[in-house]
Amino acid sequence: MITTRVYLMRHGEVQNGGEKRYNGHIDIDITEKGVEQMHRLARLLTGKPVSALYCSDLTRTVKGAKIIAANLGTEYRAMPELRERSVGAWEGMTAEEIRERYPEEYRAWQSDLLNYRPPRGECLFDVRNRILPVYNGLVDAHHGQEIAMMLHGGVNRVILAEALSLDLRNLFRIDQAFGALNIIDYYDDGMAVVRLLNG
């Protein structure tokens, strides 16, 4: 049975990674440690027959994609559709800062994590509806091949939840560390098998 394999990766540690800020569409760079994490991923993919490499258009994924592409001797394609969830007016803030500055909105968010949209931002269903058609289209376009994607923690969780048939309510049961590697195989019968999670 023919399979399509996806090496689904998360970008390296970001410059404010220790502060637990919601970066969303903010274009923040990765640290030296983040660069090291990307070189580790490059080594793990050495010798793999990767036919295409995709990333979002944000610096933290593009920098990783460049490192992976150089190691594989291939090109990468940056796509704005693959960006992290936008939290709108809350971007760059910590949960505590959001609670202090937007107390009513924060309570509404905590009471409905799936459907609540931050001011000018996306809810989790919005993210799923933006990401999955693009992602599935790329997987279909590379039927029977191996491809790599350098994406974001929230985006990866949506993709993995879909592969595992998890309800979005269980999204945060999936850990995605900086520099994580996941491997998903897709079979012709529609079955998805997660071979590696947060490696």
Q: Which residue has the tokens 């440690």?
A: 33
* Residue 17 confidence (pLDDT): 81
* Residue 198 confidence (pLDDT): 98
Alpha carbon of residue 104 to chain centroid = 29
State the average pLDDT over residues 89-112. 95
Q: What are phi and psi of 56, to 5 degrees?
A: -80, 175
DSSP letter assigned to residue 83: P
pTM: 0.96
- How do residues 41-80 score in pLDDT, each as one tens digit? 999 999 999 999 999 999 999 999 999 999 999 999 999 9
* Residue 1 confidence (pLDDT): 80
DSSP letter assigned to residue 30: B
Report the percent of the chain where pLDDT is more than 70: 100
Helix (H, G, I), strand (E, B) or coil at 34: helix
Residue 82: band (very low, low, confident or very high) from pLDDT cuts 50, 70, 90: very high
* Residue 18 confidence (pLDDT): 83
Residues 30 and 60 sit within 8 Å (Cβ to Cβ):
yes
Residue 2 pLDDT exceeds 90 = no
Residue 134 pLDDT exceeds 90 = yes
State the average pLDDT over residues 75-93. 97
* Residue 42 confidence (pLDDT): 98
**Would you state the structure tokens that stand for residue 82, as one six-digit string?**
């693959």
CATH class as words, domain 3-86+122-196: alpha beta
DSSP letter assigned to residue 190: S
Residue 19: band (very low, low, confident or very high) from pLDDT cuts 50, 70, 90: confident
